Amino acid sequence: MAVPTGPRGTALDEASPDAVVLDTDGVITDTARVHAAAWKHVFDDLLRRRARERGEEFRPFDTGADYLLHVDGRPRADGVRAFLASRGIDLPEQASRPGEDSVAALADAKDAAFRAALDRDGVAAFPSTVALVRRLRKDGIGVAAVSASRNCARVLAAAGVDALFDVRVDGVDAARLDLAGKPAPDLFLEAARRLGTPPGHTAVVEDSLAGVEAGRRGGFALVVGVDRTGQAAALAERGADVVVPDLGELG
pLDDT at 9: 55
Query: Which residue type is seen at 49?
Result: R
Q: How many CA atoms lie within 13 A of 64 on its CB side?
A: 3
Closest CA to 75 of 153, 159, 187: 187
Q: What's the pLDDT score for residue 8?
A: 52
Under a CB-based contact definition with an 8 Å cutoff, are residues 187 and 194 in contact?
no
Please determine, for residue 144, whether its predicted confidence score (pLDDT) is greater than 60. yes
**Would you state the pLDDT for residue 251?**
62
From start to end of 52-166, where are the E strands? 142-146
Does an H or E element contain 82, and which? helix 76-86
pLDDT tens column, 85-142: 999 999 999 998 888 999 999 999 999 999 999 888 889 999 999 999 999 999 999 9
Query: Among 18, 25, 62, 119, which one carries the catalytic annotation?
Result: 25
- The SS3 call for residue 11 is helix
| DSSP tag of 58 | -
- Residues of the chain above pLDDT 70, percent: 96
Q: Please return the burial class of 175, using the count of CB atoms within 10 Å of its CB with bins 0-12, 13-18 and 19+.
A: exposed
Per-residue pLDDT at 153: 95
Q: Phi first, then psi: what are they for 181, rounded to 5°?
A: -80, 165
- Strand ranges inside the chain, DSSP E: 19-23, 142-146, 167-169, 202-206, 222-226, 242-244
pLDDT at 1: 44
* CB count in 10 Å sphere of residue 36: 22
State the pLDDT at residue 12: 83
76 Cβ neighbours under 8 A, 6+ residues apart: 107, 110, 111, 148, 149, 171
- Summarize the confidence of residues 64-72 as an average pLDDT: 90
- Model confidence pLDDT, tens digit, residues 162-192: 999 999 999 999 999 999 999 999 999 999 9
45 carries an active-site annotation: no
- Please say whether the beta carbons of 205 and 11 come within 8 A: no
More confident residue, 82 or 31: 82
pLDDT computed for residue 4 by the predictor: 58
Q: Is the pLDDT of residue 240 over 50?
A: yes
Confidence (pLDDT) at 250? 80
pTM confidence score: 0.81
Given a cut of 50, whether residue 39 has pLDDT beyond it is yes
30 is catalytic: no
Sign of CA dihedral 68, 72, 74, 75: positive
Q: Tell me what pLDDT residue 73 has.
A: 79
**pLDDT tier, 224 (very low <50, low <70, confident <90, very high otherwise):** very high
pLDDT for 249 equals 86
Per-residue confidence band for 3, with pLDDT thresholds at 50, 70 and 90: low
Please pick, among 18, 23, 101, 173, the residue that the annotation labels catalytic: 23
Instruction: Give the model's confidence band at 6: pLDDT under 50 very low, under 70 low, under 90 confident, else very high.
Output: very low
What's the mean pLDDT when you consider all of the chain?
92
